[in-house]
Structure 1
Amino acid sequence: MTSLSNGITREKILSINDSLRINNLHKRELNFKFVIIGDFGVGKTSIIGRYTEGQFSTSYKITIGADFALKTLEWDEDTRVNLHLWDIAGHERFGSLTGVFYRHAVAAAIVFDLTRPETYSSVEKWLIDLRRKVHLPGGLPIPVVILANKGDVTVTTLPSQIEDFCKANNILSWFITSAKNNLNIDEAMIRLTNAAIQNHHNLQFPLITDDIISLTDASENNEKMKKCC
């Protein structure tokens, strides 16, 4: 039996690794598609790069049409979540293709640029386009967060009405983010993932209130019949 410097034997490490491998084989895997949308140059590609690769670069190329990256989360001991993050081009010439790019999406982040306040004006346009083209099973609204990006440069341009806009439009939450400083990106994606998992659970196990009512009515009818007889 070989003992390593910290006192853990090689056999023990192999045993732990085997246990992890076996447990992972039995994990439930969920695959979710998230779309990251907003005007060109607001930092969508940088946000995805930071979240999936832990890196930031100032030399990203303009996204043509759409691109995507994968992030795997060991959500809990029973569940693994694979997030497919789609980077949707913000140029107007790709607007007619958004319906194709949105297909099968279960959550979305709308990004605007705090250094270009005019990009906030497009948030509502993107939201309308998204909700017009994406319909979740069961009529559930697609979960959305808003990301006020490049918060490392300025926050003085943050729109004062953003809180009211989110409440009026059923937005899950909004975050000041920075791909450069890795600010609030994990938090925003966790918020979306929680919502996607909850929707998945609701669709798998819907509340059957009609049956509950029927059972109650049936019980009351039985009591009436007993009294009548």
Structure 2
Amino acid sequence: MTDCQTFKLVFIGDSGVGKTSLVERTVRNCFNENTDYTIGAAFHKYILKTDDNISVTFNIWDTAGQERYRSLGPIYYRGANAAILVYDITSNDSFDNIAFWFRNLKSVLPSDIVTALVGNKSDLEHRRDVDYKEAKRFANKYGLIFMETSAKTALNIDILLKTLAKELIKRKNNNVCVNDKDIQLLTSKQNKLNIRKKCC
């Protein structure tokens, strides 16, 4: 095993659940209450050090959740090593739609891809609409990593990324099939549509 690993990670879920805010908190350590909706997908790179002092580079694709862009999702999923399925704890509809996003993901990627279920906006506990235990049961049923996070307060985001990195490295070392290919997904014309949000 080398001391530097690179993995492709996709963020998936309904529009407005906070995928972009989670990515911005991860990459730039900032939060913007008025983040623009993602068009198509946006690419970011993030490097972290694991507790074992291994450098891990995540090539992150923040995918759009609006219905008109859903058909593009599988294009961006291809070649991913890991996925984060995001719902909003204040929106039961966003949690109900996780089953759709999960099926969509599995239609493209191997069954053994490292996947996390994330309930975002935990800072809005007073407006909770999704029961923690229900979400946990869904995650356990499908063998998903499960956490609740807050892009606003940064709760559990570092732990989430380190947990994903640890699992990816373990599987790679055990020769579990993990797709390392990073496919060029966008033409130069499409790339102009990508939104790189700036909040700091």
TM norm. shorter chain > 0.5: yes
In the alignment, does 2:103 pair up with 1:132? no
Number of the residue aligned with 1:191: 163
Match of 2:192? none
Q: CA deviation at 1:204?
A: 7.7
What's the CA shift string for 1:2-30, capped at 9, x where partnerless? xxxxxxxxxxxxxxxxxxxxxxxxx6321
> Please, what TM-score do these two structures have when normalized by structure 1?
0.71
Whichever structure has more helix as a proportion of its residues is 1
1:55 to 26, 30, 48: 30
Give the alignment partner of residue 122 of structure 1, picking from 70, 73, 97.
97
Q: CA deviation at 1:165?
A: 1.2
Alpha-carbon distance, 1:76 to partner = 6.3
User: Which residue does the alignment assign to 2:11?
Assistant: 36
Q: Distance in 1 between matches of 2:39 and 2:80?
A: 19
The residue number in structure 1 matching 2:140 is 167
**8 Å Cα contact 1:150/1:177 also seen in 2:** yes
Separation in structure 2 between the aligned mates of residue 79 and residue 114 of structure 1, nearest angstrom: 33
Give secondary structure in 2 for the equivalent of 1:56: coil
Give the equivalent residue in structure 1 for 2:77. Answer: 102
What is the count of residue pairs matched by the alignment? 174
CA RMSD in angstroms, aligned pairs only: 2.0
SS of the aligned residue for 2:32 comes to: coil
Aligned to 2:153: 181
Name the TM-score, length of structure 2 as normaliser: 0.80
Please identify the structure whose Cα radius of gyration is greater.
1
Aligned-pair identity (%): 32
Once superposed, which parts of structure 1, at least 4 consecutive aligned residues long, lie more than 4 Å away? none
CA contact (8 A) 1:106 1:143 kept: yes
Q: Which ranges in structure 2 are unaligned for 5 or more consecutive residues?
A: 178-200
- Conserved? CA contact 2:13–2:85, under 8 Å: yes
Unaligned runs of 5+ in 1: 1-26, 206-229
Greater RCO between the two (CA within 8 Å, min separation 6)?
2
Select the residue among 135, 142, 150 that pairs with 2:121.
150
